[in-house]
């Protein structure tokens, strides 16, 4: 895309009207508003579908008779496939017009919805989510890159706040709508409900998004980097999904020590491969993922914060339905209500945080947000001794405040520190880092809960699953607290 300077715009309260009469790609004010609206609706489709499925994970486990490890692959398949889409987004954005890539991605999401509707086994549900993940991996970074292209830098905070509010509102109402559909109809309606809105987004994209083309069409595709990372991801996740941790036989027996040694050697092997891949990508002129962007310290530290916040968020989305529905024996509707209230609080917080970051920078906001999200995660672990729905709702709402302050403002500052033509690559690198690490954490956490729960059950514990979830939440809280130094490295002022 063009790197021509963007004319300054007048500052008003509405991000939609805060655009110049002529953008860097020669778009009028009306065209910019149309592009913004289309991208917001597209992001809504992706976010709503993802959040609507979360309360249904226990339902999938029951309908298809699978355990929590297999149920976790409803999230993992989406995240891994999204990583592939993220790796492809930067290259495709340089090779083809934005509109055609966006249309293809929305069509792919619709295809995944159709396959999900017709699924007759858990494997097909996972395949459907993988196709949707691949499409979502294209939609999100392309949308963010376009927004940073058509808006001037001094408005990035408010524009991203608007993006965050719309996405979070989708995340808020998704669980409630999904729970209602599961309770009143059937699980397949979770896929069917996104089809009409996806069709509307396709029509809008075809009609309203201009034929914006990148000026860089000569960059070759990094086939070696892409395929090697893909093989690494698939191999590692297949290994993790088949890994069994047996706490009941004793870790210090000869069998236990052999398992620990094998686990350690394989972990070191995966780590060494990742380091070799990283070194290779740094030397490439046109890498599949531009890891050189991490040389930008502001971008690096903003990513550290967003990664840990995503890990905490994803684990809460997975564990809360299990806790409310399986441990507490409540309806899926209550899962939707708790998640909706928490996400609404986070969206309101994001709105004000976006305005503050444009004026005050992200350092102070980030430190406060991280502290609140970490302490509220500890409170969530504490309340599991005697869980009640209202206490869960209160603590998750407090946690929403922390996420609203810590996540979007720090991510916005990280993107703003990059040149405009690198924002799409930066968004892809940010998203794939969050997805890969959160997928690893989700897989290890489900394995731990399954194995640790079995050990506690043998020991006579009546709430073995809740106790295992408590331990995971404490670990997440500690990880969040360790990111406060990264927040201290962010700019003090915009």
| pLDDT at 251 exceeding the cut of 60 | no
Q: Which of 359, 298, 308, 292 is nearest to 488 (CA)?
A: 298
pLDDT at 421: 73
pLDDT value, residue 2: 37
The pLDDT of residue 67 is above 80:
no
Residue 22 in 3-state DSSP? strand
SS3 11: coil
Q: Give, to the nearest 10 degrees, the angle between helix 332-360 and helix 297-321.
A: 160
Average per-residue pLDDT for the chain: 78
Between 430 and 360, the higher pLDDT residue: 430
C-alpha neighbours within 13 Å on the C-beta side of residue 309: 32
Q: What is the pLDDT of residue 20?
A: 41
Distance of alpha carbon 79 from alpha carbon 58, whole angstroms: 19
Work out the average pLDDT over 466-473. 83
C-beta of residue 418 within 8 angstroms of C-beta of residue 293: yes
Residue 380 above 80 pLDDT? Answer: yes
Q: How high is the pLDDT of residue 163?
A: 79
pLDDT at position 115 is 92
Residue 198 has pLDDT above 60, yes or no: yes
B/e letters for 110-119, b = 16+ CB within 10 Å, e = fewer, are bbbbebbbeb
Which helix H or strand E contains 230, and what residues bound it? helix 223-242
For the record, the structure tokens of 457 come out as 């059950």
Q: How far apart are CA 21 and CA 10, in angstroms?
A: 10
Shortest CA distance to 244 belongs to which of 389, 21, 444? Answer: 444
Is residue 17 predicted with pLDDT exceeding 60? Answer: no
Put residue 331 in one of left, alpha, beta given phi > 0 → left and psi -120 to 50 → alpha. Answer: beta
pLDDT grade for 492, boundaries at 50, 70 and 90: confident
More confident residue, 103 or 183: 103
CA-to-CA distance for 259 and 264, rounded, in angstroms?
A: 9
pLDDT at 24: 46
Instruction: Give the CB-side neighbour count of residue 477, counting CA atoms within 13 A.
Output: 18
Comparing 97-101, 184-188, 242-246, the range with the smallest average pLDDT is 242-246
Q: How far is CA 437 from CA 79, 187, 194, 206, 476, in A?
A: 10, 28, 28, 35, 13
CA–CA gap between residue 67 and residue 74 (Å, rounded): 12
Q: What percent of the chain has pLDDT over 70?
A: 82
Residue of 262 and 293 predicted with greater confidence: 293
Spatial neighbors of 276 by CB under 8 A, at least 6 apart, are none
Least confident of 29-38, 233-242, 323-332, 383-392: 233-242
58 vs 236: CA distance, rounded Å: 25
Mean pLDDT, residues 427-438: 81
Instruction: Using the predicted structure, report yes or no on whether residue 32 has a pLDDT greater than 80.
Output: no
Q: Which two tokens stand for residue 106?
A: 């929305």
What is the DSSP secondary structure assignment for residue 1, as one 8-state letter? Answer: -
Longest CA–CA separation in the chain, Å: 72
CATH class of 29-488: mainly alpha
pLDDT at 329: 79
Q: Tokens standing for 110?
A: 């619709």
4 pLDDT band (50/70/90 cuts)? very low
Helices 194-208 and 29-53 sit at what angle, rounded to 10 degrees? Answer: 160
Give the range among 11-15, 92-96, 190-194, 461-465 with minimum mean pLDDT: 11-15
Q: Is pLDDT larger for residue 157 or for residue 446?
A: 446
Nearest to 313 by CA among 405, 377, 372: 377
Q: What is the mean pLDDT of residues 293-315?
A: 88
DSSP 250-310: -TTSHHHHHHHHHHHHHHHHHHHHHHHHHHHHHH-SS-SS-GGGGGSHHHHHHHHHHHHHH
Predicted TM-score of the model (pTM): 0.70
The pLDDT of 50-62, averaged and rounded, is 76
Instruction: State pLDDT tens for residues 351-364.
Output: 777 777 767 777 88
More confident residue, 253 or 35: 35
H/E element, 229: helix 223-242
Q: What is the CB neighbour count within 10 angstroms for residue 63?
A: 15
Measured at the CA of 262, the angle between CA 261 and CA 263, to 5 degrees, comes to 90
What per-residue confidence (pLDDT) applies to 479? 92
* Angle of CA points 287, 291, 297, to nearest 5°: 150
Higher per-residue pLDDT: 414 or 262 = 414
- Compute the average pLDDT of residues 58-81: 77
Q: Which of 108-122, 381-395, 407-421 has the highest mean pLDDT?
A: 108-122
CA 343 → CA 41, 310, 340, 381, distances in Å?
18, 14, 5, 19
Give the residue ranges of DSSP H helices in 185-222. Answer: 189-192, 194-208
Contact call for residues 402 and 351 (beta carbons, < 8 A): no
Give the span between the Cα atoms of 415 and 494, in whole angstroms.
12
Structure confidence at residue 493 (pLDDT): 66
**Residue 29: its pLDDT value, please?**
75
- C-alpha distance from residue 177 to each of 38, 55, 146 (Å): 22, 10, 30
| Paired tokens of 221 | 């595709």
């Amino acid at each position: 895309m063009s790197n021509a300077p963007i004319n300054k715009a007048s500052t008003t309260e509405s991000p939609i009207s805060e655009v110049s009469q002529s953008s860097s790609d020669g778009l009028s004010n009306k065209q910019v508003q149309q592009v913004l609206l289309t991208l917001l609706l597209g992001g809504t489709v992706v976010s709503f579908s993802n959040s609507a499925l979360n309360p249904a994970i226990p339902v999938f486990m029951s309908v298809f008779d699978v355990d929590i490890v297999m149920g976790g692959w409803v999230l993992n398949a989406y995240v891994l496939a999204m990583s592939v889409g993220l790796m492809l987004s930067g290259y495709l954005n340089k090779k083809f017009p934005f509109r055609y890539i966006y249309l293809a991605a929305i069509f792919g999401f619709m295809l995944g919805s159709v396959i999900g509707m017709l699924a007759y086994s858990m494997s097909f549900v996972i395949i459907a989510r993988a196709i949707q993940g691949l499409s979502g991996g294209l939609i999100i970074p392309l949308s963010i890159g376009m927004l940073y292209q058509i808006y001037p830098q001094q408005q990035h905070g408010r524009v991203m706040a608007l993006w965050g509010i719309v996405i979070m509102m989708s995340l808020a109402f998704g669980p409630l709508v999904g729970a209602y559909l599961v309770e009143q109809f059937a699980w397949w309606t979770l896929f069917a409900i996104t089809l009409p809105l996806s069709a509307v987004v396709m029509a809008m994209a075809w009609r309203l998004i201009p034929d914006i083309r990148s000026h860089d069409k000569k960059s070759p595709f990094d086939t070696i980097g892409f395929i090697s990372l893909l093989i690494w991801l698939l191999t590692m996740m297949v290994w993790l999904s088949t890994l069994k941790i047996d706490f009941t036989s004793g870790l210090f027996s000869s069998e236990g020590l052999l398992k620990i040694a094998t686990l350690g050697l394989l972990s070191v092997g995966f780590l060494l491969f990742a380091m070799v891949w990283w070194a290779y990508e740094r030397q490439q002129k046109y890498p599949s993922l531009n890891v050189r962007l991490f040389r930008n310290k502001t971008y690096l530290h903003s990513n550290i914060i967003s990664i840990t916040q995503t890990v905490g968020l994803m684990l809460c989305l997975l564990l809360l339905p299990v806790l409310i529905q399986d441990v507490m024996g409540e309806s899926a509707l209550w899962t939707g209500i708790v998640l909706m209230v928490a996400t609404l609080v986070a969206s309101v917080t994001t709105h004000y945080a976006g305005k503050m970051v444009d004026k005050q920078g992200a350092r102070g906001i980030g430190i406060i947000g991280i502290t609140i999200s970490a302490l509220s995660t500890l409170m969530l672990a504490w309340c599991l001794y005697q869980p009640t729905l209202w206490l869960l709702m209160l603590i998750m709402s407090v946690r929403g405040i922390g996420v609203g302050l810590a996540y979007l403002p720090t991510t916005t500052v990280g993107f703003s520190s990059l040149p405009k033509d690198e924002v799409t690559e930066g968004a892809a690198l940010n998203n794939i880092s969050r997805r890969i690490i959160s997928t690893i954490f989700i897989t290890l956490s489900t394995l731990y809960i399954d194995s640790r729960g079995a050990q506690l059950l043998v020991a006579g514990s009546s709430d073995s699953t809740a106790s295992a979830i408590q331990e995971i939440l404490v670990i997440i809280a500690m990880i969040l607290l360790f990111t406060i130094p990264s927040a201290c490295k962010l700019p003090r002022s915009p």
